[in-house]
Amino acid sequence: MKSIRWGGLITFVITMLVFASALLFAGTILKPLMESSFTAMNGAKVDIESVDVSYSPLTLEIKNIQIADQEQAMVNAVQIDQVKFAASFGQLFLGKLIIDEASIHGIRIDTPRHKPGLIVQSDDEDLLDAVSDDSLISMPKLEVLDVKSILASNPLLSDKLIDELDKDFSDTEVQWKTISESLPDKEKSDEYDTRFNNIKIMAKGDAKQKITAIKDAKQLSSELKEEVKKVKQAKDRFGTDIKRINAELKVVKAAPAKDIAMLKSKYSLDNMNAENISQMIFGEQVAGYTALAKKWYRRIEPYLSSEEEVETVEVERSKGRDVVFHEFRPMPVVYIGLASITANLPRGLFEGTITAISSDQTIKKEATRFKLQGVSLSNKDSETVSGEFNYIDKNNGFSKIKYSVVKSKIDDFVLSRSDKLPLTMKQAVMDFDLNARFQQGSLNGMAKMRFKEVAFDSGDTSSLVANSFKGVSAFAIDSRFNGSVNNLSIKIDSDLDNQLSRQLKNKLNQEKKKFEDELKVELDKKLKSPMDKIEAKKARLNSVKNKIDDREKQLQQKIASLKTTIDSEKTQKKKEASDKLKNKLKDKFGF
């Protein structure tokens, strides 16, 4: 026993015991280590309330994990009340965390923090804010039109033509006043009457007087014919003017119809439709959800893409090389067979499981699958999310997710805050199905929404589109998306467009009719005064015409009367000459 150094043996044993005793405080040692490493992974602070380790079996219990939001200092992106799992002790010595069963309870999101959780200022663009910007929405200007302001602000053809006609009338009137004055007036007519009467008196006189009367009659007749000629010329000219003015008046009367057509065309009531309105409205919502998905994808991307090197690990030359041999029961560095989860989210309480969480799926050839189901849901019949992360084939790995909601009640869901189209879904019942698949950098999927018992509210807006929503009680929206995560193409189809188009068409027809009627009334009202003026002028011109006609008639009568007088005088004179000759013959020959 002399060869044994007892002091050394005791020292060795004590040293080993000191190291072993450290295991008793493993929780205290692990807590800061976990906090610092998780903080480095998260990019914002991760706080843990306590870590408890027990060794038979090896169990780790972590309480109250608060994972700070990278963008909001006083908000936890995720808070987990408890994580508990039993790990394989032997595998842990080999640097592997193998857990058959784990439980994660009390997951909550967006919970408040007591102290700031930011460690660096995030430079990520705030996509949610960006998409909620109303400037993205370009709404059609479908509003009830104000006829008076339209008439006041648009130059009308009617106005122009009425002005031109009015001027023409005025010029013509002045011209005709002059012409009218040059025509024989009453005084002249009386003079003609006097001369005519004198001729008639003289015609009953002696032969000399009769001869003078005939001369005067011829003179008078010649003058009257000259006057008639002048009147006829004036009448012809007047007829031309009247014809022109009537033609102009006809054009003026047709002008309001042209104005109405022009205004209808300008305010494009005919071309309004509801095409892609659902894309405009729900596109904003979809873009918001897409931005949220991108935000979360960026957070989990580093963990999804982590791959384990298995064949050889190249290290510094002085540290040699680790040669890997075939494992009888190969295990990845991290593996959790089954994790049961409860999450208390704003949408309700969710329960579910995740199976085969693995740092390298190629080793156990098991895909990670998860399923979470809502329980005790207040506003919906069911809500389920399930999915699969399958990277067993590293070159062709994929992630897929399926999300469905049945009979979700919607209250006061703001669809658009745009001034042009303030729209709120006051109530509705929605079924929602989402299927998405992410593979080789490309995201493809489809989301189907079925809305029933819908009631829209568009406030007091005069927008025809907004008012068209009031007639919609059920509709469906199908959206398809594909492309890379950062350049996603989204296509939204909906029968809402057709329904809105129908509603809008009816509304438009009503509005169109109302607009036309109002336009006609207002235009008539506006044109009445100038048209009355024109009609009065026309009446004055007509009176001039009548006056000329009368004058011509009188002159013609006078000429006829004069001619009758001359003819009668001629006949009488002839008779007298004949009688005289007969008497002479009778006297001479006695028969």
Q: Least distance in Å: CB of 447 to another protein?
A: 48
CB 16 within 8 A of CB 48: no
Measure the CA–CA gap between 239 and 262, rounded to whole angstroms.
Answer: 34
- Residue 376: burial class (beta carbons within 10 Å; 0-12, 13-18, 19+): exposed
Nearer to another protein, 114 or 317 (CB): 317
Smallest distance from another protein to CB 330, Å: 10
Query: Closest distance between another protein and the C-beta of residue 54, in Å?
Result: 20
- In the complex with another protein, the residue whose CB is nearer, 89 or 303, is 89
| Interface residue list for another protein (CB under 8 A) | 2-5, 8-9, 11-12, 90-91, 93-94, 317-329
**Closer residue to another protein, CB minimum distance, 314 or 587:** 314
Shortest distance, CB of residue 318 to another protein, whole angstroms? 5
8-state DSSP, 324: P
**Residue 308: CB minimum distance to another protein, A:** 16
Q: Minimum distance between the CB of residue 8 and another protein, rounded to whole angstroms? A: 3
Q: Judge contact between 534 and 162, C-beta under 8 A.
A: yes
Q: How many residues does the chain have?
A: 591
Q: Around 20, how many Cα atoms within 13 Å sit in the side-chain half-sphere? A: 7
Shortest approach of another protein to residue 285 CB, angstroms? 54
- As measured in angstroms, the least distance from the Cβ of 101 to another protein is 21
- CA atoms of 191 and 554, how far apart (whole Å): 13
Which lies closer to another protein via its Cβ, residue 295 or residue 364?
A: 364
- What is the three-class DSSP state of 238? helix
Task: For residue 253, give the 3-state DSSP assignment.
Answer: helix
Q: Measured from the CB of residue 6, what is the shortest distance to another protein in angstroms?
A: 9
Q: Which is nearer to another protein, 201 or 315 (CB)?
A: 315
What is d(CA 341, CA 353) in angstroms, rounded to the nearest whole number?
6
Please name the residue that has the structure tokens 């919970």. Answer: 111
| Amino acid (1-letter code) at residue 587 | D
For the CB of residue 319, give the shortest distance to another protein in the complex, in Å: 7
Q: Distance (Å, rounded) from C-alpha 85 to C-alpha 101?
A: 6
SS3 of 124, please? coil
* Cβ 410 to another protein shortest distance, Å: 56
Min dist. Cβ of residue 321 to another protein (A):
5
Cα separation of 151 and 146, whole Å? 9
Find the shortest distance in angstroms from Cβ 327 to another protein: 6
Nearer to another protein, 329 or 588 (CB): 329
Cα distances (Å, whole numbers) of residue 22 to 13, 51, 429? 14, 14, 59
Closest CB to another protein among 320 and 590? 320
Q: Closest CB to another protein among 19 and 591?
A: 19
CA 66 remoteness from chain centre: 44
Nearer residue to another protein within complex by CB, 1 or 207: 1
User: 30 pairs with which residues across the strands?
Assistant: none
C-alpha triplet 163, 167, 171: angle, nearest 5°: 170
Closer to another protein by Cβ: residue 15 or 122? 15
Buried b (16+ CB within 10 A) or exposed e, 238-251: beebbeebeebbee
Task: Compute the half-sphere exposure of residue 343: CA atoms within 13 Å on the CB side of its CA.
Answer: 23
State the minimum distance, in angstroms, from the CB of residue 5 to another protein: 5
Neighbours of 7 (CB within 10 A): 8
Q: What's the closest the beta carbon of residue 22 comes to another protein, in angstroms?
A: 16
What is the amino acid identity at position 326?
Answer: H
What DSSP character marks residue 64?
E
**Pairwise CA distance, residues 124 & 104, whole Å:** 29
Distance (Å, rounded) from C-alpha 409 to C-alpha 260? Answer: 48
Residues 6+ apart with CB under 8 A from 130: 291
Alpha-carbon span 360 to 397, nearest angstrom? 12
The amino acid occupying position 205 is G
- The torsion defined by the Cα of 6, 11, 17 and 22, in degrees rounded to 10, comes to 180
| Distance, CA of 334 to CA of 87 (rounded, Å) | 10
Note if the bond before 256 is cis, omega within 30 degrees.
Answer: no
Burial of residue 404 (CB within 10 Å: 0-12, 13-18, 19+) is middle
Residue 177 or 321 with smaller CB distance to another protein: 321
Residue closer to another protein by CB (options 94, 585) is: 94
Between 205 and 330, name the residue whose CB sits nearer to another protein: 330
Residue number, 8 or 441, with CB nearest to another protein: 8
Minimum CB distance to another protein smaller for 4 or for 207: 4
